[in-house]
Amino acid sequence: MKGLRRVSAVAITAGAVLTAGAFTASAQAATTATPTITAQGGYVMNNGTGKSLFTKAADTRRSTGSTTKIMTARVVLAQPNLNLDAKVTVQKAYSDYIVDNNWASSAKLIVGDKVTVRQLLYGLMLPSGCDAAYALADKFGTGSTRAARVKSFIGKMNTTAKSLGLTNTHFDSFDGIGHGANYSTPRDLTKLASSAMKYSTFRTVVKTKSTKRKVTTKSGGYRYMSWTNTNSLLGSYSGTIGVKTGSGPEAKYCLVFAATRDGKTVIGTVLASSSVDNRTADAKKLMNYGFTK
């Protein structure tokens, strides 16, 4: 009887080990299963190797909303002999543009204030200021009129897209409020963001949760401008280092995202998600998945 009990105990123990192993295996399978996202398009890659880790309609052209501003910043940062401390006077045209466009998000720039290029980049990327985008396009485009300078700047955005091999990308605006020909894809936007992240100023700006900046007023005094990042991944997803939100009637809810854990950086994009919460959830799912690959 003692021998039988011993054999039974061994069998039970072995069975428990096998069962535990099966649970572990199924748990691992669950964590590495290809995620389902609500966004109509998605893409994730290993930023170090460029390897694709997830695709969903990754090459389908869609409206991009304010994720367009990644290219706005990228064009500015690539300017030869760029002086980030150069001052730009805020024009009435920039604030009028906000009033005229219902979907325009604002950095709340004040007419007559003198702000630096660096401050404009914060105003562009944190609160997603279309007024800041306009100011940068006006500053870094070429031409004798504001309209010519803006057209020139958008031309630089498209030239940069071509130079980066973004074959499914085209811009007709400096901020994402398009006129029928402002589009990109999850794969192209991810490649664009990866390129922009090579600039230290861009990396510093897009990982900033909030900032307070001293600007010079028209009368020569000063005021402080405070901006908070629209990217809720900062502070809610460990390792997040950027990048940019976007939204609009056609674009729905978009997010270009990046995070680093244990020396590995994953970067990606979701386009046309159904809500702010869902785009954030989609991004988290894709980063979790990317870190397992």
Do 249 and 149 contact (CB within 8 A), yes or no?
no
pTM, entire model: 0.89
Q: Which residue has the tokens 């990644």?
A: 70
Say yes or no to pLDDT of 18 above 50.
no
pLDDT at 179: 86
Residues 6+ apart with CB under 8 A from 280: 232, 233, 236, 255
Q: DSSP label at 214? A: E
Among 105, 106, 128, 273, the active-site one is 128
Residue 63 annotated as catalytic: no
pLDDT at 23: 45
Residue 219 annotated as catalytic: no
pLDDT band at 7 (very low <50, low <70, confident <90, very high): very low
Do 266 and 290 contact (CB within 8 A), yes or no?
yes
| Distance, CA of 56 to CA of 126 (rounded, Å) | 27
pLDDT tens digit string along 72-126? 999 999 999 999 999 999 999 999 999 999 879 999 999 999 999 999 999 999 9
| Residue-wise DSSP of 83-110 | -TT-EEEPPHHHHHHHHH-TT-------
Token pair of 45 as six digits: 């890659």
Strand ranges inside the chain, DSSP E: 41-46, 52-56, 87-89, 114-116, 210-216, 222-228, 240-248, 252-261, 264-273
Percent of the chain with pLDDT over 90: 86
Among 56, 69, 244, 285, the active-site one is 69
Token pair of 96 as six digits: 């009028």
pLDDT tens digit string along 144-192? 999 999 999 999 999 999 999 999 999 999 999 988 899 999 999 999 9
- 260 forms beta bridges with 265
| Residue-wise DSSP of 156-211 | HHHHHHHHTT-TT-B-SSSSS--SS--BB-HHHHHHHHHHHTTSHHHHHHHT-SEE
Among 63, 66, 105, 173, the active-site one is 66
pLDDT tens digit string along 229-281? 999 999 999 999 999 999 999 999 999 999 999 999 999 999 999 999 999 99
Average pLDDT, the chain: 91
Do 231 and 242 contact (CB within 8 A), yes or no?
yes
243: cis peptide before it, omega within 30°?
Answer: yes
Say yes or no to pLDDT of 19 above 80.
no
| Distance, CA of 198 to CA of 258 (rounded, Å) | 13
Say yes or no to pLDDT of 217 above 50.
yes
Token pair of 106 as six digits: 């604002």
| Distance, CA of 212 to CA of 227 (rounded, Å) | 6
| Distance, CA of 187 to CA of 122 (rounded, Å) | 25
Chain centroid, CA 204 distance in Å: 13
What average pLDDT does range 181-210 have in this prediction? Answer: 98
Say yes or no to pLDDT of 15 above 70.
no
Residue 69 annotated as catalytic: yes
What average pLDDT does range 23-49 have in this prediction? Answer: 79
Q: Which residue has the tokens 């669950």?
A: 30
